[in-house]
Structure 1
């Protein structure tokens, strides 16, 4: 099994199979627009700009499960991300990442890369690095700044 078994609705409402990302390095992030970590959108966009030509894709999944920090509709979230952080990487429709209604992709990611003491995602901006074969390579805490993942991304890209 790999992340390619899953699909998700984009923030624009179209169903997208993750098979479309075969051969790419993925950084999958549960995001929020009103969180102390929200400025990480800037760092995620910088990583995307720097490495997209070499095969990096950043996939953002808004989530409102932590302190109700992403209460807006998909259109509002999309507009906020573009206006405030110039986000051009793929954003998806809002999802749950924990619990019975968790998106199947996040159930898979958390099973493959367990967090400290538990599989559950503890907060916004938890990041999962996935290799070109769809395998989960690492999980990063919300506090981990995108620039601190750069060397791991470069290693996977062969940069």
Structure 2
């Protein structure tokens, strides 16, 4: 009888501990779900001609995403971007350019002017998207994914300047963030493409 009374007294305490442990487990699993890695494949954007571009069509390819500008000291990087695109485009690699006017108003042109500039001056044939914002309150959703660890699962970053590169693996996940000043033909990028 004494044991039964003791058992009846401690049962609510044990039950309370069990419930708290269950709540903690459920909270941990729901927070890990909110931190789950997203992919770039969820996005559809508009290209320079106004057509819909669906990132899900790039499954299985390595993707270099770069914010570009026509009147920047780094604008000659278009030439190296085109060179690595030509060399690797048949080996499951693509470059996606996003013109942006966020830094020193160095991309003031319209989509048509940007398209003409890229083709005429650098022979750009990799996909170029419509002009967007890559930072600030009007940051495009693609760049929210690229710069926020809660969405990309890798790291928080900030677009420092024109021609910052984001390297996306064959699963659509962010692999690496590369400085604007690092040339597209740098070993860091070429080794990643060829690995």
- Within a 5 Å distance, the mapping from 1:77-96 to structure 2 comes to 77-96=114-133
- TM-score, length basis structure 1: 0.93
- Which stretches in structure 1 are left out of the alignment for 5+ residues? none
Runs of 4+ residues over 4 Å off in structure 1? none
Partner Cα distance (2:114, 2:53) in 1: 18
Match of 1:11 in 2: 48
Task: Name whichever structure is richer in strand by fraction.
Answer: 1
Match of 2:62 in 1: 25
Match of 2:191 in 1: 151
- Within a 5 Å distance, the mapping from 1:6-155 to structure 2 comes to 6-111=43-148, 112=152, 114=155, 119-148=157-186, 149-155=189-195
Deviations 1:1-37 (Å, cap 9, x if unpaired)?
1000111100110111100111111000000000000
Relative CO higher for 1 or 2, CA cutoff 8 Å, sep ≥ 6? 1
Partner Cα distance (2:121, 2:161) in 1: 21
Shift of 1:119: 2.4
Task: Name whichever structure is richer in helix by fraction.
Answer: 2
> How many residues of Structure 1 are paired with residues of Structure 2 in the alignment?
152
- TM-score, length basis structure 2: 0.76
Q: Based on CA coordinates, which of the two structures has the bigger radius of gyration?
A: 2
